[in-house]
Amino acid sequence: MRQNKEKLSNQAVQSYKIKSQLIRKLRTRFATYGYEQVHTPAFEDYDTYASIQKTVNKDEMIKVIDRSGKVLVLRPDGTIPITRLTALDREINGSEQRLFYIFNVYGEQNSNGTNKESTQAGVELFGNKRPEADAEVIALAVHTLKEIGFDNFKLEVGHAGFFKELVDQANLAENELQQLQELIQSKNLAEMEPFLKQLQIRDELQEALYAIPLLYGNPQAVLEETKAIIKNERMQEVLNNLKDVIEVLTDYDLLEHLTLNLGLINNMHYYTGVIFQGFVENIGKPVLMGGRYDQLAEQFGKAMPAIGFAYKVDVVLEALKQHQLIKDDNNPPLQIYYVPEERRNAFSAAKLLREQGYAVITKPFAKNAQQAGILFQSNGRVIVNGNEQQVETNEELLNLAELATGGV
Amino acid sequence: MEKLTIALSKGRPAKHTIETLEAADMQFIDFHEKSRKLVFYNVDESIKLIFVKAVDVPTYVERGAADIGIVGKDNILESRAEVYELLDLGIGKCKFSVAGFPNYSIDANRPLTVATKYPNVAEKHFSRKGQEIETVKLNGSVELAPLIGLADVIVDIVETGNTLKENGLTVLEDIDDISTRLIVNKASFATKATEVRSFIDQLNNALERTP
């Protein structure tokens, strides 16, 4: 019974440790690209959120009522609060801002009520709408994916404008659009054909929509294929934009990790340009998602182009577990035992070692117990892992600690 | 070459699917219907077949335990799995339908009681129409439910309609066409693109050859 309980708490420690290691890795890498961390409150005003168009489904937000009867919402995503923060800052006037955040977001994603809280780690680059900005953010996504330890992963890149332009010409009813979107997202060609046939749209438009799911694969090849279904100037612009971004990415040397997917449709409707999501082998849902959203800040009264992405930290952890990429580097704390008359010496040694970064636990010495660590025995003798050692100076103590633990 | 894992459902559809795969030049020598083995390899071991329960196939594929699955549309719809659905094998054709007593008309002003093995399918269908429902999840003999007053209507797979007729029921409306589909894990489609695509092309060619 007792053992069971101990094991449980160890698991909690272990899983938190893995999560914080991952977060530390992301934080460090984001910082080396010049991004700075910000934080926003978990509670947001419901009315502000509800008034933002093209965003999170209101039914999926978790609402709270405060003492005065005001309705609050637990932030359902990171991008909107960070955008508002940046848009409302008067000091920032069109200058570039590189920000990142690591915090929890909340929502009713699952019908069975689990996973209401999940951690996101994301970056946002404001004030730059050039393809170089798109490429920088995508390169950062690839860099971090590699660093986390995945070797077989792909970043699927698409464009929010592509599907939108095509579908705008089709004049579909809301439920037809929804159905078409689902068919494209699941690349369901078998059902798309009859579905498109019964819509009252031109043949060439039908063909173009039917082609979308398979506009997928090697960037150069897909760009070439896509030329054939360009229908107007706006779509040509979309294609040119994608081409420019791919060209910049070529110089980052990461084309092997990129797949062009023009059937990519993100359910966050604020995206306006390049969109992308990261897949790692065998994990059927993306570990990261992002894209360009040049019009979101306007809803907070400032025109400000922006692009960003966010990791779903919990999905990454699941993937790490499945890929067996979790290293067991569980260094137990150094144990310092003492006989009563040596207690003072033991405490001062422990303090010194803690200041040097060692994890130390002090305990009174008990005979007949398994005791690896440092023992402050009577008459000033010091025993490390069973062998008596000399300790005169602090330096010698540090050497012993290293001997006992194998370093900090 | 990366290995591909394909999940198939046990039973009648398996035999049919294996025949299709063999027509596509993928031979599974040690497979025979009566075998109790659950894992088979093709000749060069580039493909691993695993046999699982039909309802579990979409889950295996969504969670990456298999790259590809071959399974009925009924199970895909009910599981709500996020997967690519790339091919219709055109076998095992039937329909999801709403059935009830002839002349039964649905009252939009009160929740409809629906007995079904497929609560997700029923909910999606009726919520699209704005009809509130209460589902009664049953695991078999669904046709009985309206007869004994357990439900107003049923949502079920209809092949010939004979079972309905014998129980005095009739199809009130059709929901979706069902047939065997090929589904693909979204990550496998990206990370094993060459293997997945060539498997699908091979299968597709074989399907086009057979009338």
Q: Is A277 on the interface with B (CB under 8 A)?
A: no
What was the pLDDT predicted at A9? Answer: 55
How high is the pLDDT of residue A1? 37
Token readout for A6 is 């101990």
Amino acid A109: pLDDT: 65
At A304 the pLDDT is 93
Q: Which CATH architecture has domain A18-171+213-322?
A: 2-Layer Sandwich (3.30)
Which letter does DSSP use for residue B105 in this model? Answer: -
pLDDT per residue over A18-46, tens digit each? 999 999 999 999 999 999 999 999 999 88
Among the partner-chain residues B88, B187, B192, the one whose CB lies closest to the CB of A284 is B187
Looking at residue B162, which CATH number applies to its domain? 3.40.190.10
Average pLDDT over residues A246-257: 94
**Beta strands in chain B, from DSSP E residues, in sequence order:** 4-9, 39-41, 47-52, 68-72, 84-88, 94-100, 112-116, 133-137, 153-158, 170-178, 180-184
Range of weakest confidence among A121-125, A211-215, A219-223, A404-408: A404-408
Closest CA relative to residue B96, chosen from B65, B120, B80, B69: B120
Say what the pLDDT of residue A4 is.
Answer: 43
Residue A387 has pLDDT above 90, yes or no: no
Mean pLDDT score, A328-343: 84
Contacts of A286 in chain B (CB under 8 A): 186
B156-B161-B166 Cα angle (round to 5): 105
pLDDT at res. A126: 96
B79/B119 same-domain check: no
pLDDT of A395 above 70:
yes
Buried b (16+ CB within 10 A) or exposed e, A37-67: ebeeebebebeebeebeebbeeeebeeeeee
For residues A41-57, give the mean pLDDT. 80
CA distance A217 to chain B (A): 8
Q: Residue B130's domain spans which residues?
A: 94-176
A311 labelled binding-site residue: no
Q: Percent of chain A at pLDDT above 70?
A: 93
Tell me whether residue A270 is annotated as binding. yes
Q: Which residues of B touch A222 (CB under 8 A)?
A: none
Q: Which residue has the higher pLDDT, B12 or A290?
A: A290
Predicted confidence (pLDDT) per residue in B105-135, tens digit: 888 888 999 999 999 999 999 988 889 999 9
The per-residue pLDDT for A3 is 41
**Are residues B11 and B71 both part of a single domain?**
yes
Query: Average per-residue pLDDT in chain A?
Result: 88
Cβ count within 10 A of residue A404:
18
Chain A residues touching residue B85 (CB < 8 angstroms): 186-188, 190-191
pLDDT at A314 over 50: yes
Beta carbons of A283 and B188 less than 8 Å apart = no
> Does A35 lie at the interface with B, CB-CB under 8 angstroms?
no
Of B84, B188, B191, the CB nearest to A187: B84
Q: B132 and B155: one domain? A: yes
Ligand-binding site membership of A271 (annotated)? yes
Instruction: Determine the angle formed by the axes of helices B12-23 and B193-209, rounding to 10 degrees.
Output: 100
Q: Is A217 a known ligand-binding residue? A: no
Q: Where are the beta strands (DSSP E) in A174-282?
A: 216-217, 258-261, 274-280
Whole-number pLDDT of residue A407: 52
Q: How many domains does chain B have?
A: 2
- Encoded amino acid at B146, one letter: P
Query: How many contiguous H segments (helices) and E segments (strands) does chain B have?
Result: 8, 11
The pTM score is 0.84
**pLDDT at residue A124 is higher than 50:** yes
Look at strands B84-88 and B180-184 and give their pairing: antiparallel
B7 and A CB contact within 8 Å: no
Residue B11: Cβ-neighbour burial (10 angstroms; 0-12, 13-18, 19+): exposed
Contact: B192, A285; criterion CB under 8 Å: no
Mean pLDDT of A272-294: 94
For testing the chain B interface, which of A259, A281, A323 should be mutated: the one with the most B CBs within 10 Å? A281
| Domain extents in chain A | 18-171+213-322, 334-405
Q: Do A152 and B185 touch (CB under 8 A)?
A: no
Which of A186, A187, A280 lies at the smallest CB-CB distance from B187? A280
Residue A5, pLDDT score? 41
Residues B88, B186 within the same domain: yes
Any chain B CB within 8 A of the CB of A49?
A: no
Determine the Cα–Cα distance for residues B163 and B172; give it in Å rounded to an integer. 15
Any A CB within 8 A of B191 CB? yes
Per-range mean pLDDT, top range of A141-145, A279-283, A361-365: A141-145
**What confidence tens digit (pLDDT) does each residue in B181-205 have?**
999 999 999 999 889 999 999 888 8
Averaged over B4-11, what is the pLDDT? 88
Q: What's the pLDDT score for residue A2? A: 39
Which residues does chain A have within 8 Å of residue B192's beta carbon, measured at their own beta carbons? 281
Are the CB atoms for B155 and B122 separated by under 8 Å?
yes
